[in-house]
């Protein structure tokens, strides 16, 4: 069945030429010299006042990177990147030492206001009464770390988080203030030798967020990072490290936008999550980098390595992503299910338009006993875009009782685009039960039957089941994200193909 009109209209509203965040902030910035060499790595490290061990770590990664070749297996096509023709570090020029938010360049504050990201806590503090006398809704309390090009410009709610024992700060600060934690966990999930882009990131990452939630603490608010690429010809390489100690819980959100430019820009981030015994990390992304114009010119190359390690027993990591931006996406948020009874989840909605190319999916590596994972992926391709789901589910010899359920649906709008599904399912254990399906009609026949029997049409029933399932996760996103995401989710399932 072809897509229904409603779906077509909805996707049209987020087409590439409707990009709303393409403005540029005119601000003076401090940049590293163009090109990449050991000197660039030393420059970045010096800028960040890093200890010697950190510089050594970076240099080691850089030397290894020189021996690696760019991967070509993904279904994406782009001209060769000249790694010497990029700036690896750009920071808004500080007028003086910044002591409070008021001293941050007002241009930057304006930028975040335009993007709808509040950096001023006053407006959203607990107990603030809005003009009509109602208390501000609980969900708008989000601590934000704002990353502008290569540096973190502001982090909100630091004090309140500190009271709870939660560490939330730019990773550059964490390297100085909490070296023991950083040393222990940095590179432990995504080793510096992992892949071409992750190794490059290890050498030149400039900033990102660091989160540590101590044992037994439920993080009192949502944590969020908002990434903005502003500078021309600049690569953004951020690094995020989140550690949830025993029995803790944290929910983390990231958002990304960039100005409209004719040239392509590289974004190669690394995100590492560590969940110890009984801990849970919920990581949500609304990725809306500039996707290029309607002729396929410009846009961000989003080559990201995201991986979570369920290191402890009964730990849980869940990835939720709503992907609408970037010229090229190459990203596979993964879960290593190492601890017994650990659980990994991946919920993804990837919408591609114009000339966008998406090659995204997940990996669920079952190593521990009774580990479970669930993958729900919806890809929607329109325009002349190519949208690929690529996923790996594997059960190790010792992963007795492992279970996976995967459902990936794709929808095509128009006949110039392509939707592809490339799942790898590797069972090395007889007691592992894997189910993979790519047809909507197969989603729980019993539930569908129940709904249809009560008067819903087949499609309404399918919509109810899947939307109900996905919404369950999306409703936990804060308002700003949820509104946009839900608009995308409510897209009808009619006409979907596997």
Partner 1 sequence: MSNLFAAARDRLPGKGKVADTRQQAFEAFERAGLPHRRIEEWKYTDLRALMREVKGLAPRPDTTALARAKAALARLAIRDAARLVLVDGIFVPEFSDLAGLEAGVSVQALREVLEDAGSQAAADLLTVSATDAMISLNAAMATDGVVVGIADGAALARPLHIVHVATAGSASSFTRSQFTVGKGARATLVESFVAADGARAYQANDALVITVGDGAELSQVRLVADADDAINITSQILSVGAKAKLNLVNMTSGGAVSRLQGFITLAGQGSELAVNGVNLLKGTQHGDTTLVVDHAVPNCTSREVFRAVVDDRAHSVFQGRIIVRPDAQKTDGKMMTRALLLSDEAEADNKPELEIFADDVSCGHGATSGALDDDLLFYLRARGLPEKAAQALLIQAFVGEAIEAIADDGLREAVMAAAENWLEARV
Q: Which spans of this chain sit near partner 1 (rule: CB under 8 A)?
A: 1-3, 73, 397, 400, 410, 412-439, 441-442, 495, 497-498
Helix (H) or strand (E) holding 394: strand 386-395
Contacts of residue 320, defined as CB under 8 A and 6 or more positions apart, other chains included, come to 282, 283, 284, 285, 347, 348, 473, 474, 477
Measure the CA–CA gap between 322 and 339, rounded to whole angstroms: 28
Helix axes 445-453, 458-474, angle to 10 degrees: 120
CA dist., res. 269 & res. 402, Å (int): 30
Q: Note the maximum CA span of the chain.
A: 69
- Least Å distance, CB 374 to partner 1, is 15
Minimum gap (Å) between residue 426 Cβ and partner 1: 5
In 258-362, which ranges are E strands? 264-267, 270-275, 280-287, 299-310, 316-323, 328-331, 334-337, 343-352, 357-360
Closer Cβ to partner 1, 84 or 439, answer by number: 439
Minimum separation from the CB atom of position 437 to partner 1 (A): 5
Angle separating helix axes 196-204 and 38-47, nearest 10 degrees? 50
* Nearest to partner 1 of 1, 122 (CB atom): 1
Question: Which one, 246 or 363, has the nearer CB to partner 1?
Answer: 363
Q: Of the two residues 212 and 434, which places its CB atom closer to partner 1 in the complex?
A: 434
- If the CB atoms of residues 2 and 137 are measured against partner 1, the closer one turns out to be 2
In the complex, the smallest distance separating the C-beta of residue 404 from partner 1, rounded to whole angstroms, is 9
CB nearer to partner 1: pick between 314 and 353: 353
How many Cβ atoms are within 10 Å of 163's Cβ, its own excluded? 8
Three-class SS state of 429 = coil
Q: Give the residue with the Cβ less far from partner 1, 156 or 421.
A: 421
> Contact, 281 vs 311, CB < 8 A?
no
Length of the chain: 498
Closer to partner 1 by CB, 3 or 189: give it: 3
Least Cβ distance, residue 436 to partner 1 (angstroms): 4
Residue 153's contacts (CB-CB under 8 Å, 6 or more residues apart) are 92, 104, 108, 146, 147
Q: What's the min distance (Å) between Cβ of 191 and partner 1? A: 21
Total Cβ atoms within 10 A of residue 40 = 22
Q: How far is the CB of 394 from partner 1 (least distance, A)?
A: 9
Burial of 176 (0-12, 13-18, 19+ CB in 10 A): middle
The residues, ordered by sequence, that sit 6+ positions from 463 with a Cβ below 8 Å of its Cβ are 492, 493
- Nearest distance from residue 420's CB to partner 1, in Å? 5
Minimum CB distance to partner 1, residue 2 (Å) = 5
Spatial separation of the C-alpha atoms in residues 264 and 423, rounded to whole Å = 29
For partner 1, the closer CB: 45 or 360: 360
Q: What's the closest the beta carbon of residue 421 comes to partner 1, in angstroms?
A: 4
Q: Quote the DSSP letter at residue 86.
A: S
Under DSSP, the state recorded for 134 is P
CB of 30 to partner 1, least distance (A): 43
Concatenate the DSSP letters of all residues of 203-216 into one string: HH--B-EEEEE-TT
Nearer to partner 1, 214 or 423 (CB): 423
> CB burial class (10 A; 0-12, 13-18, 19+) of residue 249?
middle
CB of 48 to partner 1, least distance (A): 38
Handedness of CA 50, 55, 57, 58 (dihedral sign): positive
Residue 351 has which token pair?
Answer: 């919408």
Q: Which is nearer to partner 1, 2 or 220 (CB)?
A: 2
10 Å CB burial of residue 159 (0-12, 13-18, 19+) is exposed
Q: Which is nearer to partner 1, 274 or 402 (CB)?
A: 402
CB 488 within 8 A of CB 349: yes
């Amino acid at each position: 069945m072809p897509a229904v009109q409603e779906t077509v209209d909805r996707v049209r509203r987020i087409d590439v030429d409707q990009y709303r965040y393409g403005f540029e902030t005119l601000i003076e910035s401090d940049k590293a010299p163009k090109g990449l060499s050991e000197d660039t790595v030393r420059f970045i490290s010096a800028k960040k006042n890093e200890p010697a061990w950190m510089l050594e770590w970076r240099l080691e990664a850089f030397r290894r990177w020189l021996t690696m070749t760019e991967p070509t297996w993904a279904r994406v096509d782009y001209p060769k990147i000249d790694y010497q023709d990029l700036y690896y570090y750009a920071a808004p020029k500080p007028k003086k030492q910044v002591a409070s938010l008021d001293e941050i360049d007002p241009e930057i504050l304006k930028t975040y206001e335009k993007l709808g990201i509040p950096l001023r806590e006053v407006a959203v503090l607990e107990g603030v009464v809005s003009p009509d006398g109602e208390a501000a809704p609980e969900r708008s309390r989000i601590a934000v770390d704002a990353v502008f090009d290569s540096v973190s410009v502001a982090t909100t709610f630091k004090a309140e988080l500190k009271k709870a024992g939660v560490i939330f700060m730019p990773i550059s600060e964490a390297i100085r203030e909490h070296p023991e934690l950083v040393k222990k966990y940095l590179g432990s999930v995504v080793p510096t030798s992992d892949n071409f882009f992750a190794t490059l990131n290890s050498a030149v990452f400039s900033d990102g967020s660091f989160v540590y939630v101590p044992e037994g603490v439920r993080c009192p608010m949502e944590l969020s990072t908002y990434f903005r690429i502003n500078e021309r010809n600049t690569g953004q390489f951020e690094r995020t490290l989140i550690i949830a100690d025993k029995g803790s819980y944290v929910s983390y959100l990231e958002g990304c936008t960039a100005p409209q430019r004719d040239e392509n820009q590289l974004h190669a981030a690394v995100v590492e999550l560590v969940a110890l015994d009984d801990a849970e990390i919920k990581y949500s992304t609304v990725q809306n980098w500039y996707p290029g114009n309607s002729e396929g010119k410009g846009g961000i190359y989003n080559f990201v390595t995201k991986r979570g390690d369920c290191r402890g027993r009964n730990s849980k990591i869940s990835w939720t992503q709503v992907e609408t931006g970037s010229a090229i996406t190459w990203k596979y948020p993964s879960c290593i299910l190492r601890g017994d009874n650990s659980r990994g989840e991946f919920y993804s909605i990837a919408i591609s338009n114009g000339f966008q190319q998406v090659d995204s999916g997940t990996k669920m590596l079952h190593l521990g006993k009774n580990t479970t994972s669930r993958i729900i992926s919806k890809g929607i391709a329109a325009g002349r875009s190519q949208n690929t789901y690529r996923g790996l589910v594997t059960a190790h010899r010792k992963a007795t009782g492992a279970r996976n359920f995967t459902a990936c649906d794709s929808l095509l709008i128009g006949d110039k685009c392509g939707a592809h599904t490339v799942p790898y399912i590797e069972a090395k254990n007889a007691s592992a039960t894997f189910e993979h399906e790519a047809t909507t009609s197969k989603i729980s026949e019993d539930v569908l039957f129940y709904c249809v029997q009560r008067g819903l049409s087949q499609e309404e029933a399918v919509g109810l089941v899947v939307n109900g399932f996905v919404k369950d996760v999306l409703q936990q996103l804060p308002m700003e994200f949820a509104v946009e995401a839900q608009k995308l989710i409510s897209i009808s399932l009619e006409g979907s193909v596997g």
